[in-house]
Chain A
C-alpha cells in the first residue's frame, strides 16, 4: 500500500482517539486515551521516514503519561463533575470550526502537493552536509551545525520552562515549611 493510504488510516484513528479523549467523563481514562494520538504521531513519523523523531515522540509520550498521571492520580476529584454544559457555546464553536475548515480547503490546494516538497535550502544541506560537518546523519548536522543558534535558543526555552515548573512546584513546599515553623 502507498504511504498516503497508511497515513490517512493512522490520522483518522488519531482524530477518533482525540475526540474520545476529550469527551470521556473519567479524567484518568482520557489521559490514557490521549496516548493513542501520541503513538499515532510516532507511527506516522516512521511512515514519513523520520526515525529519530519517532523515537523522541515515543519517549515524549511515556514522559507525558508519567507526569500527567503522577500529578493527577492523587487528587480526590479525578471524576469530572457533571456541570451545566453550555450547549450554545458548543454548537457555535462546532459550526465556526466547520466553517474555518471549509474556508481553508483552498489554502491547502495552493500548497505543493503531498510528496513533492519545496527543497530549496535543504538541497544544499543534503548535498554538502556530510562534507561540511562530517556527520552521516544529516538531521544531526542541521541541528548541531547549520542551525546551532536555533538549537541554543530552543534549549533556552526548554530550560526556562523547566525552571518555571520547578519554581511553581517549590512555592508550595517553602510556604508549608514556613507555616510549620510558625506553628
Chain B
C-alpha cells in the first residue's frame, strides 16, 4: 500500500514536469520518469512476499515464485521506451536546428 502510493507520487512528479516545464529536454526527462514509474508499478503488482525469481532450479517449486507475466510484458516495454526516447531526442534536435532554442513558448511564437 505505502509502496504503491510512493510509486504513484513518482508518476505525479513526472506529470508535474510535463505540465510546468518549458524546456524540451526537461519534458523528455519527465516522460522518462513517468515510464519508470509505470514499469515499476506493474512489477510491484506482481510481487509475492517471500517468493523467488521465476527460474526453475533443483528444489524449487512453482508455488514459491513471483508472477512472471508482468515481468515478461515490462521487459519489452523498457526496450520500447528506449526507442521512443531516441525518437523524441531526434525531434528535439531538429527543432533546435530550426528555431535555435529548446523553449516551447518561443517555438510556438516563431511558428505563428
The answer to whether A67 and B68 touch across the interface, beta carbons within 8 angstroms, is: no
The contact string, 1 if C-beta is below 8 Å from chain B, for chain A 101-125, is 1001100110111111101011101
Q: Once bound together, how far apart are the Cα atoms of A158 and B1, in whole Å?
A: 33
A80 to chain B, nearest CB (A): 5
Describe A's contact surface by its main secondary structure: helix
Known: A11-B7, A22-B30. A94 touches B43 (CB 8 A): no
Residues of B within 8 A of A126 (CB): 54, 62-63, 65, 68
Residues of A within 8 A of B20 (CB): 86, 89-90, 93
Q: Once bound together, how far apart are the Cα atoms of A134 and B78, in whole Å?
A: 26
Known: A30-B26, A126-B68, A138-B54. A143 touches B76 (CB 8 A): yes
Residues of B within 8 A of A116 (CB): 48-49
Q: Count the B residues whose beta carbon is within 8 Å of the partner chain — how many? A: 83
Q: Count the A residues whose beta carbon is within 8 Å of the partner chain — how many? A: 91
Describe B's contact surface by its main secondary structure: helix
The answer to whether A11 and B6 touch across the interface, beta carbons within 8 angstroms, is: yes
Known: A53-B78, A90-B20, A139-B71. A48 touches B66 (CB 8 A): yes
The answer to whether B93 and A71 touch across the interface, beta carbons within 8 angstroms, is: yes
Q: Once bound together, how far apart are the Cα atoms of A137 and B101, in whole Å?
A: 48
Which positions in B face A, CB cutoff 8 Å? Answer: 1-10, 12-17, 19-23, 25-26, 28-30, 32-33, 36, 39-40, 43-57, 62-63, 65-69, 71-87, 89-94, 96-97, 100-103, 105
